[in-house]
Structure 1
Amino acid sequence: MAGGPVYTVMLGRKDSFESNISSVEANIPRANTTMDEIIRMFESKNFTVGEMVALSGAHTIGFSHCKEFAYRLFGYSRNTPTDPSYHPKFSAALKTLCANYKNDSDMAAFNDPMTPSKFDNIYYQNLKRGMGLLESDNGLLRHPRTSRFVDLYAFNQTAFSNDFARAIEKLSLSGIKTGNQGEVRRKCDAFNTFRT
């Protein structure tokens, strides 16, 4: 529906019998996680740098709450309140949008303000324009191991779509549960049977 690539979704993946935030926190990069840390995180799961950059392209859809990036707008450093890597007009618009973020936690901005509901490579083009919403987005453009993939995907929609499809298929198979480690749930938000 959003115009993205077609890829295979394997059926029958098992869900865990446990759910706790600490196991999630250790496996998901934060908005301000450094690029070196993100690369290490993905490499520890057997993903290449290119696959990580392709998966980051999922930010072509969706939004982030202002609290995740407000420090880049209002308190970047003692002498520079706004992150200079933002395009000035983009940061001005974000400051207006997020002015009340401390009182309204629902305030959010599109990750891709140009085509927010379309799965395309504009996200990467935006990074090159100074419109990387999150620090982790901006890091993709600035890091020597990731910038060449940003350049490739910004220029070549087909390369991005093909690489994203392969990487998301690989991600869907990462850390799968086998045997009695989990269950295929009948209802995604509840265990099939009560467990003690």
Structure 2
Amino acid sequence: MAHFINNAILVVLLALSLLLSFPPTTIAANVLYPQFYDFSCPQVNDIVKSIVSKAVAKEPRMAASLLRLHFHDCFVKGCDGSILLDSSGTITSEKRSVPNRNSARGFEVIDEIKSAVEKIYPQTVSCVDILALAVRDSTVLTGGPSWDVPLGRRDSLGASLSGSNQNIPAPNNTFQTILTKFKLKGLDIVDFVTLSGSHTIGNARCTSFRQRLYNNTGNGQPDFKLERSYAAQLRANCPRTGGDQNLFPLDPGSPTKFDNGYYKNLLALKGLLSSDEILYTQNQETYDLVKLYAKNEDEFFKQFAKSMIKMGYITPLTGNHGEIRKICRRVNN
């Protein structure tokens, strides 16, 4: 009996050693892990970092745009690069949705990275994985945390305009509506507060928060939850009518630096969007997290990295599902 058990153990160990001798893609096609391209495209990290570095140096706002692109992608059909697709005969692009129209940007950066990768390793790295890596690098470039990006996703064969309109949290959604949208994607209340911290960089359009400046009280006065002098500054360039596309920093203190200033602003009643403000007015748990992150940037950074990794696992396409697009804006056939 002992001899049989020992032989069985030897067989298992031999099988494991054989598996480990093959490239990762042949071992676990349905598992995401940071080393996925170590054999098939070892230069991908360097290529992504180089192009993202140039893009962010040229336009610091690009870091926030890439982050938002990844977020809007994952919340629709999962992290599958569907947001990158242009409209075609069979596809209606998610770029046309209310959350993305006239505001989603960064597509050219992803195109440039994809083109550079394709020249060396054709049809090897997915567009969605390129986006995930670009987001990590742009976060680091602006002073934020780093994390090992799980890789191995494949690109979708279609888009969902209705999903984009319905599933992405909106600036004027209620607390419960936004939390529900997070939970439907497997994210919890901690992820909600933490990922909202991405608003420490980037801008918002006047049309995204105008209702806070003029309509909430019913008498044309600013939202009482918005600090008065800050509200007055906003009203100066966000009029009651017109100026819809005027841009305002989400974190006026350090709009291009990834830090915990966003949470400090919330406590000072200077959260720009209604979806920001509700974090410190609607729920005790979120309020406590806002206070923690405002006080301790390291805690925010650590959890942000964890929540970004968690978001990256929202229903990815792996194995034989989807495809590796040659061009991110269209499917291969």
TM-score for both structures, normalised by structure 2: 0.55
8 Å Cα contact 2:237/2:246 also seen in 1: yes
Question: How does 1:1-196 map onto structure 2 within 5 Å?
Answer: 1-79=141-219, 81-99=221-239, 102-142=241-281, 143-191=283-331, 193-194=332-333
Task: Tell me, in whole angstroms, the C-alpha distance in 2 between the residues paired with 1:28 and 1:161.
Answer: 23
Query: Offset at 1:75?
Result: 1.8
Aligned residues with identical type, % of pairs: 36
Number of positions where the alignment pairs a residue of Structure 1 with one of Structure 2: 192
Select between 145-154 and 76-85 the one with higher mean Cα deviation.
Answer: 76-85
Query: Aligned pair in 2 of structure 1 residues 68, 99: CA closer, same or farther (>3 Å)?
Result: same
**AA aligned opposite 2:246:** M
SS of corresponding position for 1:90: helix
Task: Tell me, in whole angstroms, the C-alpha distance in 2 between the residues paired with 1:104 and 1:37.
Answer: 28
Task: Tell me, in whole angstroms, the C-alpha distance in 2 between the residues paired with 1:157 and 1:184.
Answer: 38
Structure number with higher helix proportion = 2
8 Å Cα contact 1:73/1:81 also seen in 2: yes
8 Å Cα contact 2:237/2:243 also seen in 1: no
**AA aligned opposite 2:265:** N
Task: Tell me, in whole angstroms, the C-alpha distance in 2 between the residues paired with 1:76 and 1:38.
Answer: 19
8 Å Cα contact 1:12/1:184 also seen in 2: no
Task: Tell me, in whole angstroms, the C-alpha distance in 1 between the residues paired with 2:271 and 2:255.
Answer: 13
Unpaired runs of 5+ residues, structure 2, are: 1-140
Select between 149-158 and 8-17 the one with higher mean Cα deviation.
Answer: 8-17
SS of corresponding position for 1:53: helix
SS of corresponding position for 2:204: strand
SS of corresponding position for 2:284: coil
Task: Tell me, in whole angstroms, the C-alpha distance in 2 between the residues paired with 1:81 and 1:18.
Answer: 45
Query: Offset at 1:186?
Result: 3.1
Task: Tell me, in whole angstroms, the C-alpha distance in 1 between the residues paired with 2:285 and 2:166.
Answer: 23
- Give the root-mean-square deviation of aligned CA atoms: 1.6
Query: Offset at 1:81?
Result: 2.5
Task: Tell me, in whole angstroms, the C-alpha distance in 2 between the residues paired with 1:52 and 1:184.
Answer: 31
Unpaired runs of 5+ residues, structure 1, are: none
Query: Offset at 1:185?
Result: 2.4
8 Å Cα contact 1:16/1:182 also seen in 2: yes
Q: Alpha-carbon deviations, 1:33-91, whole Å to 9, x = none? A: 11111112212222221121111100101111100100111222323531011111110
Query: Offset at 1:113?
Result: 0.7
Q: Which has the higher contact order (CA 8 A, sep 6+)?
A: 1
SS of corresponding position for 2:285: coil
Task: Tell me, in whole angstroms, the C-alpha distance in 2 between the residues paired with 1:14 and 1:104.
Answer: 40
Q: Answer with 1 or 2: which has the greater Rg.
A: 2
8 Å Cα contact 1:32/1:136 also seen in 2: yes
Query: Aligned pair in 2 of structure 1 residues 48, 20: CA closer, same or farther (>3 Å)?
Result: closer
Task: Tell me, in whole angstroms, the C-alpha distance in 1 between the residues paired with 2:188 and 2:160.
Answer: 27
8 Å Cα contact 1:97/1:107 also seen in 2: yes
Task: Tell me, in whole angstroms, the C-alpha distance in 2 between the residues paired with 1:165 and 1:179.
Answer: 26
